Amino acid sequence: MLRESILALRANKFLLKYFTVLIIIITSVPAIAQSYTPDPQPDYNIFIIPFVQNCHVQHYPLRDGVTLNADNVTATHDGKYKPTRDPLKWWVNCLSYKVTGSPKLIPILFNIGLMPLVYLLTLQLTKDRLVSLIALIAFTNNPLYHDWLSSGTYDQVWSFFLVLSIYIVFKQKEIDMSPITLLLSMAAKSLTAMYLPAWLYTIWKTPKNRKEKITLSVICVGSLLLILGYVHFTNTNPFGGIFGFFPGNWHDAAYRDFEMLWPEVPFLMIFTLLSVNFEPVNPSPYRRLCAIWILNALITTPIIFLFTTQFQFVYRFVPLAVFMSIFIAITINDLGKFFVDYKLNKLPSKV
């Protein structure tokens, strides 16, 4: 009975599309409604508002120096404007303020755009609308995404372009524009560079031919090297801290992930165990891809604390939420296939 119901739902493309659109609308409306409400975090008034009140859409984003006051809520600006790191993020805030009167509205639209991207990426990987719908449901209910959906301070412009680049890698047949969207992600947040290992792994797991894979890899690595070369010779710093080796931060390097991600850890453990112990005859080939992205996201924390003076925060883990959601959906689907295989005696005798 249950299996027949699932098969009927899977075959009903209209109903699946209807639920997908409905979930996106229901999740989006409250976020858009908060577009003109100040973000509760102090950074909104310390950084965002002073910036947008003095920015120009036609110019490279400039920000002045800031000294945090003793109350940790207000700050003193020195009025010495310099080119900022993460220029695309600040330019989008500026554009939003100049066009709509709110620095949050356009960034929120990028935040919302992650929902259809998660659905489409899952659909591209699995060719299954039901699995894609499950991934979307898991994503919209993940606090790593949901808690920052209406934020213009900690927006996800960078995550949007990062996930878009991955979707394009699998979707685009001819001229591959994924390196451009990856660079846009880096321009919105330099943290994107730390996901390059998973991104290169993804390229080699696509159906592209060897020449295309090599070309994309060379373009991306070459672009990153050019950026690093520019940073070195111009003595600029696109990151929030300085590079070095800081072994004294070992405690944060070892435990900060657990402090930030404790609500998600049980789900990761449960679905990992299910994935390992209930494998069907034909499991999804993209479970490992999701695992690589999840591990890449987790390892950014110890790298940041051991090799920079920067800190790590929860709002930077939206890419983890993306691939965690896809992994959960694929595991649920594989679990269903496992029990069907078990019932039909298709599994190896050792199981």
215 pLDDT more than 70 = yes
- DSSP of 9-40: HHH-HHHHHHHHHHHHHHHHHHHHHTTTSPPS
The b/e string for 273-292 (b: 16+ C-beta within 10 A; e otherwise) is ebbeebbbeebbebbebbbb
In tens, the pLDDT along 130-157 reads 999 999 999 999 999 999 999 999 999 9
Query: Quick check: helix, strand or coil at residue 259?
Result: helix
Token pair recorded at residue 224 = 């990153």
In tens, the pLDDT along 86-141 reads 999 999 999 999 999 999 999 999 999 999 999 999 999 999 999 999 999 999 99
Is 327 among the domain residues?
yes
351 pLDDT more than 60 = no
Residue 70 pLDDT grade (very low, low, confident, very high; cuts 50, 70, 90):
confident
Is 134 among the domain residues?
yes
Is 139 among the domain residues?
yes
- Using alpha carbons, select from 223, 114, 146, 235 the residue that is nearest to residue 179: 223
Is 63 among the domain residues?
no
Is residue 194 within 8 A of residue 230, CB to CB? The reply is no
Residue 69 pLDDT grade (very low, low, confident, very high; cuts 50, 70, 90):
confident
Q: Which domain holds residue 305?
A: 2-35+113-148+158-343
Give the single-character DSSP code of 65.
E
Across the chain, the runs of DSSP E, i.e. the strands, are: 62-68, 75-83
Residue 81's DSSP bridge partners are: 64
Token pair recorded at residue 130 = 């039901």
Cα separation, 274 vs 263, in Å, equals 18
Is 324 among the domain residues?
yes
Is 326 among the domain residues?
yes
Is 196 among the domain residues?
yes
What does pTM read for this prediction? 0.92
Is 333 among the domain residues?
yes
Q: What is the mean pLDDT of residues 326-339?
A: 93
Number of domains present in the structure of the chain: 1
In tens, the pLDDT along 12-22 reads 788 999 999 99
Of 213 and 162, the one with more pLDDT = 162
249 pLDDT more than 80 = yes
> So what's the pLDDT on residue 237?
61
